[in-house]
Structure formats: structure tokens, C-alpha cells
Amino acid sequence: MQFPILSLIIFVPLIAGLAILAMPAERKREVRIIALTASLIDLALAVIVYVLFQPGVAGYQFVEKASWVPALGISYHLGVNGISTPLVLLAGLVLAGGVMVSWKVDDRPREFFGFMMFLGASVQGVFAALDLFVLFFFFELAVFPKYLMIAIWGSPKTRDYGSMKLTLYLFLGSVISLVGVLAMYFMGGKTFDMLALEQAGFPLAFQQAWFPIVFLGFAILGGIFPFHSWAPDGHVAAPTAISMLLAGVEMKVGTFAALRVAIMLLPEGAHSWAWAILALGTVNVVYGALIALIQTDFKYVIGFSSVSHMGLVLIGFATLSREGLLGAGLQMFSHGVMTALFFAVVGMVYDRAHTRNIAELGGLIKKMPLAALGFIVAGLVSMGMPGFSGFVAEYPIFMGAWKAVPLVAMIAILGVIVTAGYILLVLRKVFFGEVPAGLEKTVGDVSVMDKIVISVLAVIMIALGWFPMLMTTMVESGVKQILALVGGA
């Protein structure tokens, strides 16, 4: 029995959350310190897993297995591969970043940080799960923290609507997949173990019938068109840290689960339905970008840009090829870091300017230079500029799409052009030009904590742009596992 590091990654935030909720409400400082410590420990453990992961070794690593409910074929089975390891790191990064940017939250910090820790445990549990029951268990653990954090601490105008919409959409997706997973459970010999189900050899008709159900259920959380509208509404209504976690990590939980459960366990179904995913993903990319272009609300721009970028992940999946999957794997990480940084900067701007209306903002680079710089870096990643992680991720996706259906690549590339349009537009309006008179006095620079978050996230994206090998070899090893199941080279 080796050191249970994945369990620690899941349970450190969970236990921290419980400890925080058990504290008296007025110990606000201690609450913050516990949350920060726990999230930093979590991040450190995730880094250790990332560093110790051996891309050359086949199969899952850091595997833990213990019996849970043998009578139902449920086991506590954890492990990571080349696809999930970067996501574990991503979740650790964004959780720690989220705690740091919400350091000043003063409205019931105990509940705020407690619920946030639960959210962190939930996403880590999904990424590390090798058992479908464990996966659902952690997947749905996020229901109430997501809802309450938006409903209580969200922006007053839209929080009731945004929180309910987001939670119900996601619950809807998860319960639809749950029915599909139950079907797999009975067809696959009454086990929830994904490694066993990979070998179950489901009949073709079964796979074709159930793949769309399982995939769509999870992909709703990934923001697939036409079930994407929860994402901008929910992300905009959420407080900064939760926007970061939702757009940065939770959406990846959706696409990751769609890949892990639907594509890897029902590969024949994936081949039959790839055209549909490809089509919907393309709509995501172009439609999301176009809608982002016409937004007047700073945060909505970023919200729709997530819809657009997640479309690229879906396209990458749908190619079912080495390039496409590699790009999708990288894009999940790259977009997670990028969008977390975007939302962090948007939150910092809003906290100081008290408006998110693009027309009322301007010249903020003078007031908060580092935040502006962070936004520029994230913007360049978003546009897919060489030298940044976005390029490393999007290039293989387009290559894969070109090989599969050139038309898709041609249409989707339009999305990138539009992306450049809305990013540059926002950048010019918000950060350059004159500072509006109303904001001249009120807006100051960001705090030290904020600066750390911005710098770390930005440096990661640049490092990945210059040294893609830091992640590509790892993701490739994961892609090999997928290809072994779905076929193709």
C-alpha cells in the first residue's frame, strides 16, 4: 500500500471545510487561514503528483483501491493518468487562487470558505475517480456549494436566477448521465469499476443508444450548445472565486467526465456520434465568440468566451485522433488557468470600479498595471498566440479537425478571429484610453494576494507556451490510453 496521496488531495479540503464550518462565526481570520493553508497543501500535493507522474509508465498511477460496498460492485478506486493529472493540478491552482482573491470577503466568511473547500474536494474527487459511483458521489457533492455560493454571495441583481439556472442545468445533466451509467452497470456485469467496464465489450447497439445520453449529460456541464446558457448567466452571477472555480475547473469536470465515461467506456458509440459532437462543438466555438463580441458587460464577455473555448475541447474529443485529443487535453488545462485569470481580473476591476459595464470603464492600466498585464496575457492565450499555452493547445486541435473534416477546421478558425476581436476590443476599452472621471479617485491598485495569483497563473501560461514538453508528454501518455480503447493511432 503506497502513500494515499490522491485521497489526501480530496480529503484535505473536505476536512478543512468541515473544520471551518465547526468554528465560531466571529473567528473570521482563523477561517481564512485554515482555508488558505488547506488549499496550499492541496496545491502542493497536486504539484507532487504532477512531478512524480511517469509518462512512460502505462496505466493509471497513484492507484488506491479499497472495498466500499462489494454487494453493489462499488469500490473506492482512485488513480490518475496523463489527462487527469494536469486537471488535478489545475484544480489545486484555482482553489488556492480562489481563496487568495476572496481574502477580503467579509460577509459570513465561515460559510463562504467552508463551502468553497467542499467545491474543491468535489472536483478533485471527480478527476481522481476510477469508479463510477465515486465519480458521481463527488460530482454531485458540488450541488449545494455551487448553488448557495452564488445565491448568497453572488451579484444581487442576477444571483437568484443565475444560481438556480446553473444548478438545475448541471443537476439535470448529471442525473441524465446517471441513468446511462446505471445501464452500463447492469450490462457490464454489475460493477461500477471503470477499468472493468473498459473491458466489458458492450454490444454496438447498446453503445449507440446510450452514448448520446451519457455524453450529453456530462457535456452540459462542459457548456455544450444548445445547453450552454447556464454558463454565462451562472458565472456572471457568481462571486469572483466561484466564477474562477466554475469556469476554470467545473466545466472541465464536465468535459473530463464526458471523455472518461462516455468516450472511453462506449468507444463505438463515440465513433457513431462523433459527427454530432463535432457539429455542436463548432457551433459552440463560433456562436460563443460572436455573442461575446456584442456583450456590454465585462464579465459576460468572459462568460461567453468560455463557451467558445470549451467548444474547441469538444471538437478535439470528436476527432478521436491523437492530435485532437492531445489538444483537447491541453486545452482543458490551458483554458482553466486562462479563464480563472480572466475572472480574477474582472472581479478585481469590479470590486474597485463597482461597474462591469465596458462603456463606463477605461484606462485602468494606469491604476492596476499588473492586473492589466494579467488580462493581456490571458487575452493572448485566448487568441491562441504562439508563445502562450493557448497556441500549444489549439494548434493540435485544428490539426486534428483538419484531418477529420477540413470544413470544421475552417469554420472553427473563424471563432479564433472573432476571439481576437472581442479580446482586443475589451482590452482597449477597459485598460487603455482615459480613466473616466468617476473612477479617477476611487480605483486603486490590487492587493498583494491578488498580485501573487495573477503572476503565478500568467507565468504558468507563458511557461507552457515556451516549454510545451512540460505537459505534452504527460497528456500524450493519457491520449495513448484513450486511443487504445477507441482505436486509431
- For other proteins, the binding residues (CB under 8 A) are 21, 25, 68-72, 74, 108, 111, 136-138, 140-141, 143-144, 147-148, 151-152, 160, 163-164, 167-168, 171-172, 175-176, 178-179, 182-183, 185-187
Cell of 465: 507556451
Minimal distance, residue 69 CB to other proteins, in Å: 5
Minimal distance, residue 43 CB to other proteins, in Å: 24
Please identify, using beta-carbon distances, which residue of 187 and 452 lies nearer to other proteins.
Answer: 187
Please identify, using beta-carbon distances, which residue of 151 and 365 lies nearer to other proteins.
Answer: 151
Place of cell 462489494: 70
**What amino acid is encoded at 371 in this protein?**
A
Minimal distance, residue 265 CB to other proteins, in Å: 16
Please identify, using beta-carbon distances, which residue of 68 and 103 lies nearer to other proteins.
Answer: 68
Cα 235 from Cα 268, distance rounded (Å): 34
Is the CA virtual torsion 324, 328, 334, 338 positive or negative? positive
Minimal distance, residue 166 CB to other proteins, in Å: 11
Cell of 444: 486603486
Please identify, using beta-carbon distances, which residue of 160 and 440 lies nearer to other proteins.
Answer: 160
Please identify, using beta-carbon distances, which residue of 49 and 132 lies nearer to other proteins.
Answer: 132
Please identify, using beta-carbon distances, which residue of 44 and 172 lies nearer to other proteins.
Answer: 172
Please identify, using beta-carbon distances, which residue of 209 and 373 lies nearer to other proteins.
Answer: 209
Is the separation of the CB atoms in 118 and 14 below 8 Å?
yes
Please identify, using beta-carbon distances, which residue of 180 and 347 lies nearer to other proteins.
Answer: 180
Is the separation of the CB atoms in 365 and 433 below 8 Å?
no
Minimal distance, residue 152 CB to other proteins, in Å: 5
Minimal distance, residue 37 CB to other proteins, in Å: 22
Partners of 76 in the β-ladder: 66
**What amino acid is encoded at 101 in this protein?**
V
Minimal distance, residue 422 CB to other proteins, in Å: 33
Cell of 9: 488531495
Place of cell 456583450: 295
**Degrees to nearest 5, angle at CA 288 with 216 and 357:** 130
Cα 488 from Cα 486, distance rounded (Å): 7
Among 29, 28, 62, smallest CA distance to 45 is for 62
Please identify, using beta-carbon distances, which residue of 138 and 300 lies nearer to other proteins.
Answer: 138
Minimal distance, residue 175 CB to other proteins, in Å: 4
Residues 6+ apart with CB under 8 A from 322: 400, 476, 479, 483, 488, 489
Strand, coil or helix: 380: helix
Minimal distance, residue 164 CB to other proteins, in Å: 7
Cα 184 from Cα 476, distance rounded (Å): 27
Could you tell me how far CA 351 lies from the centroid of its own chain?
24
Cα 472 from Cα 13, distance rounded (Å): 28
Please identify, using beta-carbon distances, which residue of 119 and 291 lies nearer to other proteins.
Answer: 119
Phi/psi of residue 64, each to 5°?
Answer: -130, 135
Cα 395 from Cα 400, distance rounded (Å): 9
Please identify, using beta-carbon distances, which residue of 36 and 176 lies nearer to other proteins.
Answer: 176
Minimal distance, residue 131 CB to other proteins, in Å: 13
Is the separation of the CB atoms in 42 and 140 below 8 Å?
no
Minimal distance, residue 172 CB to other proteins, in Å: 5
Report the interhelical angle of 389-404 vs 298-319 (nearest 10°).
Answer: 50
Residues 6+ apart with CB under 8 A from 156: none
Please identify, using beta-carbon distances, which residue of 69 and 359 lies nearer to other proteins.
Answer: 69
Note the residue count of the chain: 489
Minimal distance, residue 176 CB to other proteins, in Å: 7
Cα 153 from Cα 412, distance rounded (Å): 36
